[in-house]
Amino acid sequence: PEEKSLNFIEEIIEEDLKSGRYKSIITRFPPEPNGYLHIGHASSICLNFGLTKKFPGYTNLRFDDTNPTTEETEYVESIKDDVRWLGFEWKNELYASDYFDQMYAFAVKLIEKGLAYVDDSTSDQIAAMKGSPTEPGKDSPFRTRSVEENLDLFTRMKNGEFPDGSRTLRAKIDMAHVNMLMRDPVLYRIKHAHHHRTGDKWCIYPMYDMAHGQSDSIENVTHSICTLEFVPHRELYDWLIEKLEIYPSHQYEFARRNLSYTVTSKRKLLQLVNEKYVSGWDDPRMPTISGLRRAGYTPESIREFCTRIGIAKRDNMIDVSLLEFCVREHLNKIALRRMVVFDPVKVVLTNYPADGSFEIVKSEDNPEDPNTTHREIPFSRELYIEREDFMENPPKKFFRLAPGQMVRLKSAYIIKCDEVVKDSNGKITELHCTYIPESKSNADTSGIHVKGTLHWVSVAQAISVEVRLYDRLFKVENPSSEEGDFKDYINPNSLQTITTAYAEPALRNIRFADRCQFLRKGYFCLDKDTSEEKMVFNRTVTLKDTWAK
């Protein structure tokens, strides 16, 4: 395969391996289990796991579960499912909460070295003493506490003697530091809350900065990759590792990936779920991995998308059309072709036997596949075609059906429209047509050339299915940057349900793992709402980029 040029993190690693700094590398994907993974996370997953596919080493899955109030086991399970589904296998399943004892010991060590103190200030007071980027902060009155007093108070914090918010443990660095995060950052806070793994064992919890780098270090992570908003944290990351004298993991940052016409923030996605704008985390309109999966996206297409966008050093918005392009490309190769009529009008072939008989025509399952199999489709006197494929007074270049005009019915015959039958309201109820017996596909001796080919089903054998058509969840490219609430920009027409569409009978054999192309309609997959009574299909994506901007 063609060698793609290395991204900047790969370049760093290649250099590190060449120089002998490392013989092999360890990376980790570190989700906080406070929501389902989304397409932005897929970038981070592909990057972290991709690095250890390319270079010697391995990748861990580490749950960054240090915030007890937002985290749940449901999220842990969904994250594991999603990473696996994307096609990656982690070396170790790890939890930051498993290191709480170790982190506590680290905190004690900092206190003993005179590098951390217990502060009785409230969070508002701490904020008020922080200063600003142009002004130094003020030392807390508790900053000069003795090591003994700090050790005593920290032990009592751990033992549950103090209420939430009454005290914190802070690093003793420099209240005039140019980097605001280095102005005596809070390392531990009191939170009497039940944790999804440690239960009620702890009532103090480490802050992100006191947990993340320490977990990296405990695991000997060589390259700890995070998103750009952590650039200012790097100094503290390094400071803590240095002062604790622990394994020197290093942090590298890349740009967050945002997708147009959606939001990629777990907090906002949670609002959409809780406030019932969508049916759940796996609603096919959601940019979550589970939503994309339910919509019919393939792991291959998401990995391809992540490869194409690569990694960047500046935050940017990726056009959702690229994601749709990637899934279209893959589905075109693998999807089974089937015919489904969404809004039928009946065609009666007046020169076809009226005794209820039918014949079988064959059609390729996938013309992109040189070894394609074929399916059998019944063809008979009464057919359905799409109502919009007929026009009584067509404009020029309307190559579909019209009075006196001919079209081919896919894999079957050419038909000609002779008569339009209407009800008393003027609504078209039937199109009386004749078929050209010599025009059968693959055996056409009619010499007739038509420009249009329509999909169709035979009325008697058609099965009815439900079809769900999805559109973008938001009306604007970047809902988060608009004025007001992002939910004001939700597209009210993002779901259109066709409760009864008519499908050729071969659709009945479709399984959950299959992907279909409904001819001229788009790519579809079976939805989990399918029951014994009714098959339900989701549209993954249209055939072309037809979205009206």
Tell me the binding residues for ATP.
32-34, 227
The Cα 489–Cα 261 span in angstroms is: 9
Specify the residue, 32 or 319, whose C-beta has the smaller distance to Mg ion. 32
Side chain identity at residue 46, one-letter code? C
Q: Rounded to the nearest whole angstrom, what is the least distance from the CB of residue 228 to Mg ion in the complex?
A: 13
Q: Rounded to the nearest whole angstrom, what is the least distance from the CB of residue 256 to Mg ion in the complex?
A: 11
Specify the residue, 231 or 421, whose C-beta has the smaller distance to ligand ATP. 231
Catalytic: which of 172, 266, 381, 468? 266
Structure tokens at 17: 């391996």
Q: Cα torsion at 338, 343, 346, 347 (round to 10°)?
A: -50
- Nearest residue to ligand ATP by CB is 40
First to last CA, the chain: 37
The option from Mg ion, ligand ATP, none interacting with 150 (CB < 5 to 8 A, set by class) reads none
Q: Which residue has the tokens 């996370």?
A: 41
The option from Mg ion, ligand ATP, none interacting with 234 (CB < 5 to 8 A, set by class) reads none
3-state secondary structure at position 365: coil
Catalytic: which of 32, 300, 359, 364? 32
Which segments of 203-346 does DSSP mark as H helices, in order?
208-218, 234-244, 266-274, 289-295, 299-309, 320-334
- DSSP letters, 213-239, are HHHHHHTT-SEEEEEGGGGGGHHHHHH
- The vertex-77 CA angle with 73 and 81, nearest 5°, equals 165
- DSSP letters, 127-180, are HHTS-BTTB-----TTTT--HHHHHHHHHHHHTT-S-TTS-EEEE-S-TT-SSG
Q: Rounded to the nearest whole angstrom, what is the least distance from the CB of residue 191 to ligand ATP in the complex?
A: 18
Specify the residue, 32 or 81, whose C-beta has the smaller distance to Mg ion. 32
Sign of CA dihedral 282, 283, 289, 292: positive
The interface with Mg ion within residues 295-334 (CB under 5 A) comprises none
Catalytic: which of 170, 234, 256, 472? 256
Q: Say which residues have a Cβ less than 8 Å from residue 310's Cβ, sequence separation at least 6.
A: 7
Q: Which residues would be at the binding site for ligand ATP (CB under 6 A)?
A: 30-32, 40-41, 43-44, 64, 226-227, 256-258, 264-266
Q: Rounded to the nearest whole angstrom, what is the least distance from the CB of residue 40 to ligand ATP in the complex?
A: 2
- For residue 511, give Cα distances in angstroms to 73, 285, 535: 30, 22, 10
Annotated binding-site positions: 32-34, 64, 208, 227
Specify the residue, 30 or 522, whose C-beta has the smaller distance to ligand ATP. 30
- Nearest residue to Mg ion by CB is 32
Annotated binding-site positions for L-glutamine: 64, 208
The Cα 49–Cα 515 span in angstroms is: 27
Note whether 90 and 81 are within 8 A (CB): no
Reply yes or no on whether 32 is catalytic: yes
Specify the residue, 110 or 181, whose C-beta has the smaller distance to ligand ATP. 181
The option from ligand ATP, Mg ion, none interacting with 264 (CB < 5 to 8 A, set by class) reads ligand ATP
Q: Rounded to the nearest whole angstrom, what is the least distance from the CB of residue 36 to ligand ATP in the complex?
A: 10
Range in contact with Mg ion (rule: CB under 5 A) among 30-38, 131-139, 144-152, 377-385:
30-38
Note whether 400 and 389 are within 8 A (CB): yes
Q: Quick one: DSSP state of residue 490?
A: B
Specify the residue, 32 or 174, whose C-beta has the smaller distance to Mg ion. 32
Reply yes or no on whether 521 is catalytic: no
Specify the residue, 179 or 265, whose C-beta has the smaller distance to ligand ATP. 265
Q: Cα torsion at 478, 482, 486, 488 (round to 10°)?
A: -110
Q: Quick one: DSSP state of residue 505?
A: G
Q: Say which residues have a Cβ less than 8 Å from residue 48's Cβ, sequence separation at least 6.
A: 27, 28, 29, 59, 225
The option from Mg ion, ligand ATP, none interacting with 348 (CB < 5 to 8 A, set by class) reads none
Reply yes or no on whether 256 is catalytic: yes
Q: Rounded to the nearest whole angstrom, what is the least distance from the CB of residue 26 to ligand ATP in the complex?
A: 15
The option from ligand ATP, Mg ion, none interacting with 30 (CB < 5 to 8 A, set by class) reads ligand ATP
Q: Rounded to the nearest whole angstrom, what is the least distance from the CB of residue 34 to ligand ATP in the complex?
A: 7
Catalytic residues: 32, 256, 266
Residues at the interface with Mg ion (CB under 5 A) = 32
